[in-house]
A and B are shown apart, each in its own frame.
Chain A
Amino acid sequence: MTAEQNVLSLTNIHKAFGGVVAIQDFSLDLKAGEVVALVGDNGAGKSTLIKIVSGVYTPTSGSIELDGEEASFSDASSARSNGIEVVYQDLALADQQPVFMNMFLGRELTKPPFGLLDKDRMRRESQELVDELDVRIPSASSTISQLSGGQRQGIAIARATHWASKLILLDEPTAALGVAETARVEDLIENLKKKNLAILIISHSLDQVFRLSDRICVLRRGQQIGIRETAKTDKNKIVSMITGVA
């Protein structure tokens, strides 16, 4: 391998639910600062793969390495504590809570001596974070339900950025968004590359995939069809890989 170490190495990952094979012999390496897109038709196994990496599912066989070390996650919390964050398509945000509480959901900051919530600090740090990523929201105290879909996804991505030290998984982050909002979120993802995080993104939009990714990995019915460098391929080739029609 190169001198640059892989952030994530998946080797011969296999996942079966009972007799149904969802993922067959999947291998992929991800480097820091790299965006890899996972494409394929519905049911190809993209979401299953994301769930394996994020600790929701354990693979039937195969190995996951993080920074060159064998990792096995018993649940989503342990993947999270290893620096892996997921941004879901349906936005895992609590709508009636303010932005800053969502930013720190499950990891709220407290202050001594009584261990009460440090709302001021959470508000301040959230504000800094959304400013840094240029997520335009009225304030860190706004309630999520007052925000647009794009702003919400911005918050979800900002949250993932804040907590991820290694890897961010994006599961169709713009599926629910309009054109302008999608563009905003894509800008955000571009920004994440500069933070030297590895990014794995699922998307149904090939235009988006070609705009954002460094490499494209194609899945079809649980099988890994191939990995291509985005700069050295074109849409027609990827489409024929996805559909299996030459």
Chain B
Amino acid sequence: MTRVTSRLNGLDFQQAVVYFGFLAIFLFFAVTLYDDGFLTQRNLTNIVLQTAPATIMAVGLVFALSAGEIDLSFGSIVAVSALSCAVILQDYPLPLGVAVGLGVGMGIGAFNGVLIAYLKLPSFLVTLATMGLFAGIARSMTDLRSIPVMNDTFTGIFGSGKLFSVPSLVIWTVIGVAVGHLIYRHTRFGAHVLATGDNPRAAQVSGIKVPRVRLYVMMICGGCAGLAGLLYAGRLQAAKYTLGESDLMTVIAAVIVGGTALNGGKGSVIGALLGSLLMGMLNNGLILMNLKVSDQMIVRGLIILVAVALSLRDSNR
């Protein structure tokens, strides 16, 4: 009983915003767009499918932000990973392609991480630079060409396939969020991530290897971006340098709205999932409303602004 009440006390406004926001926007579209088919099973499934890569990226970003770091480069990592995988798949079997795709993601994450953790450079600047660097590399890799992915097994597993009539992208979303949540909330590593972002000195004097935690969160972020790249390549059956390019703002917004603190020490993987679905719903709804692309951008920007303001409301005491 005491546990229940203490949990209720612990349920704070910032974490709750995403639940209410999610419900409010869902209900709003359900009513206003009922005739446009917002509530159909097909449309709702589509939202989940379309947000799958962003959700995976968001899970990774929760770790980086919670440790007090940020990754701006994950969009570029998506493109480089997807292209590397697609190129490998042209001549080599599936496991190698997947391994290279994920490995490239984690490798770039490790590159970011070493600069941040051991050379003590600010993650904002490091990843701002590597964002540009790897966006350039993605363009030069294939001379801006798009690489088709013909491997049916690959596009099944990472894209259009189904397992027991559940779309594979839904399965990836569930696995990514579940594993992320488990590590974040229920392992010593997760606790060390939070402590590092909360008070690095306290973490340090408590025997936590702070630089190693920083390296690992950047690798997780890169690895998740790599997986997101595979999901894009699987769903679109092709890889191109533009993949992930427009996800930066959406994913950061999803994670912040989901209750993860921008300056570390606090966060939620489940919240990030809801944040990501909220962004997907918004996209979907605004398109169904037949808004012009320019108007969509304006409305989306305003809604993100309100949501972020609400979720950060009492953090600047």
Contact = CB atoms under 8 A, between A and B. Distances in A.
B205 A93 contact: no
A229 B77 CA distance: 66
B237 to A, nearest CB: 37
Main secondary structure of the interface of B (DSSP, over half): helix
Contact of B2 (A88, A119, A139): A139
A94 B198 contact: yes
B165 interface: no
12 contacts: A92-B201, A94-B198, A95-B199, A95-B265, A96-B265, A97-B198, A101-B191, A106-B195, A116-B187, A117-B186, A117-B190, A117-B191
A110 B191 CA distance: 12
Interface of B: 2-3, 6-7, 10, 182, 185-188, 190-192, 194-195, 198-199, 201-208, 261, 265-266
A106 B199 contact: no
Contacts of A119: 186
A201 interface: no
B199 A94 contact: yes
Nearest to B190: A117
B266 A96 contact: yes
The 6 A-B pairs with the shortest beta carbon distances in the complex, nearest first, are A106-B206, A94-B198, A92-B202, A106-B207, A105-B206, A96-B265
B10 A106 contact: no
A97 B207 contact: no
A116 B194 CA distance: 16
Contacts of A88: 205
B243 to A, nearest CB: 35
Interface in A60-105: 76-77, 80, 86, 88, 91-98, 101-102, 105
Contact of B207 (A91, A93, A107, A143): A107
Contacts of B198: 94-97
A94 B265 contact: yes
Given A96-B265, A106-B192, A76 B207 contact: yes
Q: Which of B6, B185, B190 has the most CB of A within 10 A?
A: B6
